[in-house]
Structure 1
Amino acid sequence: MAEAERIIGTPDDSDAARAGEPERPGGDESGEGGAESGAAPERPRGRRRIAVLFAVAALAYLLDLVSKMIVVEKLEHQEPIEVVGEWLRFEAIRNAGAAFGFGEAFTVIFTVIAAAVIVVIARLARKLYSLPWAVALGLLLGGALGNLTDRIFRSPGVFQGAVVDFIAPKHFAVFNLADSAIVCGGILIVLLSFRGLDPDGTVHRD
């Protein structure tokens, strides 16, 4: 009988003991374990946003680089190619100024500015938790790197190189894919700022 009570009573006693134990503050859900489980998703989420930023930047940079290589090889010193009648054509030109051909006398200054933008974006990436901001900064970074590559490696010299432009809409300045990425990223940043969304993912209302 005692043996039977022991066999039958053991699970109940264990359950009762477990039921009688007070909940420990700092347990798996609300204490240190909870803090760890709550903090753990934050780090991967931040890393994912950084991955998106650099993936967008790499895509924008590669598209710009490949397009310029094709233009230099196939289109430079050739007649412009009409894409949409007289409204849009591809025409290879060398631009020593900023985006869309502005400020040709300040090539070195614009080169330094582009390098500074890249450094600022890289530093800001450490606090990035917003996916739209990751896309916007990725476009800016890819575009800045694209034009900076031209300024460093193309003639007439280091930090004075002329950027390759080829997209020529009617009654508008000639530009390239890097310029387009920079403008799209800038517009997206303005929209996000108007909506009150910060790079760290918080939303503020003025």
Structure 2
Amino acid sequence: MHDMQAARGASLSDAHTGPESDVRPVRWAEFATVAVLLLVIDQLTKLWAVATLVPGQPQELIGSVLQLNIIRNPGAAFSTGTGYTWVFTTLSIAATIGVLWFARRVRHRGWAFALGLLIAGVSGNLIDRLLREPGFYVGHVVDFLQLPNWPIFNVADMCINVAAVLIVILSFKGIGLDGTIDGGAADVSEGEAK
């Protein structure tokens, strides 16, 4: 095969330069590391909050800017949809499957980080909905971080919001999951390809 390429004037490295034979590694390890690390942090902080904090008795962490105030949230942000916990659980399961599906093709570090954050956040709250009181599939999410004029939230919520910002930035820049820009030209810059 080498002789045939040499005879046609093509090098061995030229055989791997097309977009369909991209040699950049799949960023599964980065995705999984971010996802697992932040999921563990989310679950440990919720365990701590449940064991330590008393509902209705907020504690100052950084003055009045950030307080610890535990609630059990059956709904979404701002406690909307409190009677539809099972719907949020179903949507979380669908979102988890969707993120895992897209993560199989990630070859860009930024996308690996964004999707890792997203899966950590979605699955962190999903675990609450599946395993916490009042029961399987209708559990209430543990929220305990409070900013002024903002709904009480948790680490999983932070992950989801940061992921959303990163996804918007990557999409605005036209960077695909595979690291190509605008769906065509390969991204060869050192910072973006990694």
What TM-score do you get using the length of structure 1 for normalisation?
A: 0.78
What is the CA deviation profile of residues 41-97 of structure 1, one whole-angstrom value per residue up to 9, with x for unaligned ones? 826x11xx1111111111110110000000000113472111222222001100001
Indicate which of 3, 13, 26 corresponds to 2:5.
26
Name the CA distance, whole Å, in 1 between partners of 2:44 and 2:52.
12
SS for the counterpart of 2:158 is: helix
Query: How big is the shift at 1:103?
Result: 2.0
Return the index of the structure with the highest Cα Rg: 1
- The answer on whether the counterparts of 1:25 and 1:31 sit within 8 Å (CA) in structure 2 is no
What is the one-letter code of the residue matched to 2:3? R
Choose which of 171, 180, 185 in structure 2 pairs with 1:193. 171
Structure 1 residue 109 corresponds to structure 2 residue 107: no
The alignment of Structure 1 onto Structure 2 pairs a total of residues equal to 179
Give 2:169's aligned amino acid. Answer: L
Deviations 1:9-35 (A, max 9, x none): xxxxxxxxxxxxxx92225x9466864
Q: Which residue of 2 aligns with 1:42?
A: 23
User: Which runs of 5 or more residues in structure 1 are unaligned?
Assistant: 1-22
- TM-score normalised according to structure 2 size: 0.83
**Equivalent position of 1:57 in the other structure:** 35
Q: What residue number does 1:160 align with?
A: 138
- The answer (yes or no) to whether the contact 2:16–2:22 under 8 Å persists in 1 is no
Alignment check: 8 A CA contact 2:75 2:84 kept = yes
Indicate the RMSD between aligned Cα atoms, in angstroms. Answer: 2.5
Q: Which has the higher helix share?
A: 1
Moved more, 119-128 or 76-85: 76-85
Deviation of residue 171 (structure 1)?
A: 1.3
Q: How far off is 1:99 after superposition?
A: 3.6
**Counterpart of 1:19?**
none
Gaps of 5+ in 2: 184-194
Equivalent-residue separation in structure 2 for 1:131 and 1:101 (angstroms)? 34
Query: Using the alignment, how far apart are the partners of 1:32 and 1:197 within structure 2?
Result: 28
Give the CA deviation at 1:106. 1.7
Q: Determine if contact 2:55/2:69 at 8 Å carries over to the other structure.
A: no
Give 1:12's aligned residue: none
